[in-house]
Amino acid sequence: MEMTPALFAFVADLVYREAGMVLRPGKEYLVESRLKPVAKETGHATVGSLANALRTGSTSLRTMVVEALTINETSWFRDREPFSALTDTILPDVLARNTTGPLRIWSAACSSGQEPYSIAITLEKALPPGRKYQIMGSDLSEEMLRRSRAGRFNQLEINRGLPATDLVTYFQRAGAEWEVIPRIRQNLSFQRVNLCTTLPPMQKFDVVFLRNVLIYFEPETKRAVLDRIRQVLNPGGWLLLGAAESTVGIDSVFERVPVGRTAIYRAPAQERLKVKEVTQC
């Protein structure tokens, strides 16, 4: 293995500065195996030579390296319970307060799109007929955004949690793959958002899914990300985290609401704290 401690430390520092993700020693093999294809693609014989180029290199090379090191694991209706909570607890509450406008949901760190499309399918089933909704999916990785926008999934991906009834109702064949039907896709948009930097201007949301991304961040970064999310939530809006994530010990402003075997989080009805913005990870 050519991943020396110094090389690993250099890459880990880059990924931390650019994306807030913490790569701890022990991940040398992962880093090397992910960076070898990048080295090859960019004409470098070794990962070491790629790292040397990074020291003086372009933003696009840094972006390629950081993207190659993101963990994009996802599946349909991941963990199930957040989607039941959306139907049973969140939607009745949001619909009672927002009686006319389109429902707005953000899937932050959406990976290849299974999460925002799972949200769309849930809304298709649960919303009163004619009620409009908008879902924004975002990720750090342009490759994940390209795949999310395409809304196309191979059979292996489909097999990871998509019920057969949803497949026949909300997808159409696209060669060997399956594509989300246009009627659903028109409600989704995708844009690149790095959660570790100041958020771009965006309209407020009723619900934010921020799932399985905080686990890669340090407590300070988690706190800053939660602050930013709160500022783009409507008063009383809802936050859903991954099964291994919580706001406990990080944020005391969100109210923890237990539902089933999980918990969801509610922003204050009125923003109580003025938050000092941290602009970088």
Ligand X SMILES: C[S@@+](CC[C@H](N)C(=O)[O-])C[C@H]1O[C@@H](n2cnc3c(N)ncnc32)[C@H](O)[C@@H]1O
Chain positions contacting ligand X, by CB under 6 A: 19-21, 70-74, 78, 109-111, 115, 139-141, 144, 193-196, 211-213, 242
Q: What value, to the nearest 5°, has the Cα angle with vertex 131 and ends 129 and 133? A: 130
Of 166, 104, 109, give the one whose Cα is nearest residue 135.
Answer: 104
Q: How far is the CB of 222 from ligand X (least distance, A)?
A: 11
Compute the 3-state secondary structure of the chain and give helix, strand, coil in percent, each to the nearest 5: 40, 20, 40
Backbone phi and psi for residue 265, each to the nearest 5 degrees, phi listed first: -130, 140
Q: How far is the CB of 96 from ligand X (least distance, A)?
A: 27
Q: How far is the CB of 6 from ligand X (least distance, A)?
A: 24
Considering beta carbons, is residue 70 or 187 the nearer one to ligand X? 70
43: left (phi over 0), alpha (psi -120 to 50) or beta: left
Number of alpha carbons in the 13 Å side-chain half-sphere of residue 127: 21
Neighbours of 139 (CB within 10 A): 27
Pairwise CA distance, residues 138 & 184, whole Å: 17
Q: Are 21 and 29 in contact (CB under 8 A)?
A: no
Q: How far is the CB of 185 from ligand X (least distance, A)?
A: 18
Considering beta carbons, is residue 144 or 188 the nearer one to ligand X? 144
Q: How far is the CB of 101 from ligand X (least distance, A)?
A: 25
Helices (H), the chain: 5-19, 28-41, 47-56, 59-68, 81-85, 91-97, 114-126, 142-150, 155-158, 164-170, 182-185, 219-231
Q: How far is the CB of 18 from ligand X (least distance, A)?
A: 8
Structure tokens belonging to residue 242: 């991954």
Q: How far is the CB of 142 from ligand X (least distance, A)?
A: 10
Considering beta carbons, is residue 170 or 190 the nearer one to ligand X? 190
Pairwise CA distance, residues 264 & 239, whole Å: 6
Considering beta carbons, is residue 24 or 274 the nearer one to ligand X? 24
**What is the 8-class DSSP label of residue 198?**
P
Considering beta carbons, is residue 39 or 145 the nearer one to ligand X? 145
Considering beta carbons, is residue 113 or 237 the nearer one to ligand X? 113
Considering beta carbons, is residue 237 or 242 the nearer one to ligand X? 242
